[in-house]
Amino acid sequence: MKTSQIVSLILGILGGLFGIGGALLPLGLGGFGLALGIKGPAAELTQRAIYAILLSIIGMIGTGIVGKYPKISAILMILASVAGFFTLGFFYVPASVMFLTGGILALISRKEEAKQ
């Protein structure tokens, strides 16, 4: 593995952990709202948090294949970054930045591979 792929791997793992961690707060708030009987906004917040957790898992899957399939890895990580940010907003910013940076580094490593 190249240095850019190793850095992409580390950023992807951290991005996934921050994404799941960032989704736990809205998930808890949504569950608390549902317990209080606030059905509409609380249910939507809970759904968005679950989507963000799934997107974090997709990003971590992309991270796991960075050594063998860097292009697919980059696509999955950038997809998780953008979709997670639009799904959860402020809570997903650290994960989004890490996934986006890791995806760009995976693309760069692929282009370096093609030149050699």
CA angle 57, 62, 68 (to 5 degrees): 150
* Residue-number span of the structural domain to which 41 is assigned: 3-115
pLDDT band for 113, please (50, 70, 90 cuts).
Answer: low
pLDDT, tens digit, for every residue of 19-37? 999 999 998 888 888 888 8
Distance CA 103, CA 30 (A): 30
**Residue 73 clears pLDDT 80, i.e. is over it:** yes
- Taken as a whole, the chain contains a residue count of 116
What are the CA-CA distances from residue 46 to residues 22, 25, 111 (Å)? 13, 10, 39
Look at the chain and report how many structural domains it folds into. 1
pLDDT at 62: 93
